[in-house]
């Protein structure tokens, strides 16, 4: 039985081209980029090339705006804590949304314990906020606004450009968690008025354990780690050269192939959502109908607990999730679906299918068949 993997929002495999890019720097090119001799200069050159490539992929003005981190969670934490600490003289007010990844929400919660004030904006029935909401939440002492680019659970894409514009006009800094968006939809930090942007390589066919934080030139941010001059004295520690090289390659490939892949995967997504609505009366599709990531299908199969459905699908060789991979071991219901106003029955029965490079229409049809079986089983139990 062929295994069907539909949890690409949780993680992706490393592409062959990316692995090939990384391998030389584990052995013959293993020099420390802070060293002055030849092998160190070579490693430093690899970092420089990766910075240039990623800056171009994100529409950044300078390679110096790219800072390497260990993951998206680290990037989010650094953005919030570093900006609020460095700009505390202006104020202590932060604006974010109820549908953010926990990396943002928990960092914001920590800031509250330190005396900062956080406004958490409610989201609409799709999990989105509007530029008007953000504008109305701004105050004279607001330092930072953080709004997720595309929701990691339901795939809804926020109006980032409009939000970025109103935030910039107010003289406030704007951060977006683009961990799910990067590599899937076009990003341009200048056109979108973004001051800080987080991403993680393993979401776009790069290695785990490496990410980046874009910080617009001139933005004041406190260092994340102390003890060295790396990353413009903002994040001490020897850089992960092989994985940084892999991340830059993975993002470059994703951007180069984006138009074609978006068309292909969007058709599969729309086909799956259409069939779910057509064949599964119990099912509800969560998230926006059109303003959503091209690979995300999130449904609630009412009457069937998520955990039971996941186990049944796993036995049939289908791997998906009930929400964010970072909370998959938690018994807590999805904070995103709750923020969207979903009733408890729909929250408890949510399933997230995220498509990727290996996904085919035949696989989608097989998944739909298994969902129909679950649907029929729930009907029989209800009749009993």
| Phi-psi sector, 231: left (phi>0), alpha (psi -120 to 50), beta | left
Active site residue 326: yes
CA distances for 118 relative to 123, 146, 155, 194, 339, angstroms: 16, 11, 24, 20, 17
Query: What distances in angstroms separate CA 347 from CA 102, 116, 254, 327, one per listed residue?
Result: 17, 31, 32, 14
The DSSP string of 57-124 is HHT-S-GGGEEEES-HHHHHHHHHHHHHHHTTTT--EEEEETTS-HHHHHHHHHHHHTT-EEEEE---
Sign of CA dihedral 197, 201, 205, 208: negative
Q: Which of 71, 279, 326, 376 is catalytic?
A: 326
63 contact partners, CB below 8 Å, separation of at least 6? 48, 51, 52, 54, 55
Asked whether the beta carbons of 169 and 143 are under 8 A apart, the reply is no
Distances (CA, A) of 285 to 125, 279, 281, 328, 363: 12, 12, 11, 20, 19
d(CA 175, CA 9): 21
Q: To which residue do tokens 């008025």 refer?
A: 193
Rounded distance, CA 108 to CA 337, Å? 20
Give the SS3 label for residue 310: helix
Distance, C-alpha 74 to centroid of its chain: 12
Largest separation between any pair of C-alpha atoms in the chain: 76
State the catalytic residues: 326
């Amino acid at each position: 039985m062929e295994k069907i993997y539909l949890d690409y929002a949780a993680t992706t495999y490393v592409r062959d081209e990316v692995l090939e890019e990384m391998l030389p720097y584990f052995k013959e090119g293993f020099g420390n980029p802070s060293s002055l001799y030849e092998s160190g200069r070579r490693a430093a050159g690899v970092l420089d090339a990766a910075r240039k490539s990623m800056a171009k992929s994100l529409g950044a003005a300078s390679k110096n705006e790219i800072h390497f981190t260990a993951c998206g969670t680290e990037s989010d934490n650094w953005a919030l804590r570093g900006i609020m600490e460095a700009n505390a003289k202006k104020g202590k007010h932060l604006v974010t949304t109820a549908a953010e990844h926990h990396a943002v929400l928990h960092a914001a919660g920590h800031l509250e314990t330190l005396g900062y004030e956080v406004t958490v904006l409610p989201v609409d029935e799709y999990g989105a906020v509007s530029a008007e909401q953000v504008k109305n939440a701004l105050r004279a002492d607001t330092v930072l606004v953080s709004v997720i680019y595309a929701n990691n659970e339901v795939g809804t894409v926020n109006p980032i450009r409009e939000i970025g514009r109103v935030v910039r006009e107010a003289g406030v800094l704007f951060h977006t968690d683009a961990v799910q968006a990067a590599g899937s939809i076009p990003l341009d930090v200048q056109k979108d008025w973004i001051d800080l942007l987080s991403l993680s390589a393993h979401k776009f066919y790069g290695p785990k354990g490496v990410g980046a934080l874009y910080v617009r030139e001139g933005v004041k941010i406190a260092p994340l780690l102390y003890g060295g001059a790396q990353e413009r004295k903002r994040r001490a520690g020897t850089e992960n050269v092989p994985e940084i090289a892999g991340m830059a390659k993975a993002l470059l490939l994703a951007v180069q192939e984006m138009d074609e892949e978006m068309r292909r995967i969007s058709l599969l997504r729309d086909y799956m959502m259409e069939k779910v609505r057509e064949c599964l009366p119990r099912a509800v599709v969560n998230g926006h109908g059109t303003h959503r990531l091209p690979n995300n299908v999130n449904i609630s199969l009412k009457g069937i607990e998520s955990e039971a459905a996941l186990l049944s699908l796993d036995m049939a060789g289908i791997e998906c999730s009930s929400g964010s991979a970072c909370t998959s071991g938690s018994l807590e219901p999805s904070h995103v679906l709750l923020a969207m106003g979903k009733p408890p029955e729909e929250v408890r029965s949510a399933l997230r299918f995220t498509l990727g490079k290996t996904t085919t229409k035949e696989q989608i049809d097989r998944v739909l068949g298994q969902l129909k079986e679950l649907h029929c089983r729930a009907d029989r139990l209800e009749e009993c």
